[in-house]
Amino acid sequence: MKCRVCGGSQERRVTDLPFKISDRTIVILKAPAVWQCLQCADTELEQTTMPRVEELLDSVSDAAELEVIRFAA
């Protein structure tokens, strides 16, 4: 796969990803599989992973300031 940002090569990796879901709330998603560019380090989630990510992010209370969720497919 080619990076959509710089055109570099990507490889599949497991990493932690931050998501800002409101003005006050940040969620760190632990250990999802992503495609990461070897050149610029941009990450891209797979289409098959997105429904689970959306489900997890939707479950977070907006009263939380920081929440860490372990990703499990």
Cα–Cα distance measured from residue 18 to residue 1, given in angstroms and rounded to the nearest whole number: 23
pLDDT at 73: 62
Asked if 43 and 35 touch (Cβ cutoff 8 Å), the reply is yes
pLDDT at 61: 87
Per-residue tens of pLDDT for the chain, all 73 residues: 899 999 999 999 999 999 999 999 999 999 999 999 999 999 999 888 899 999 999 999 888 899 999 997 6
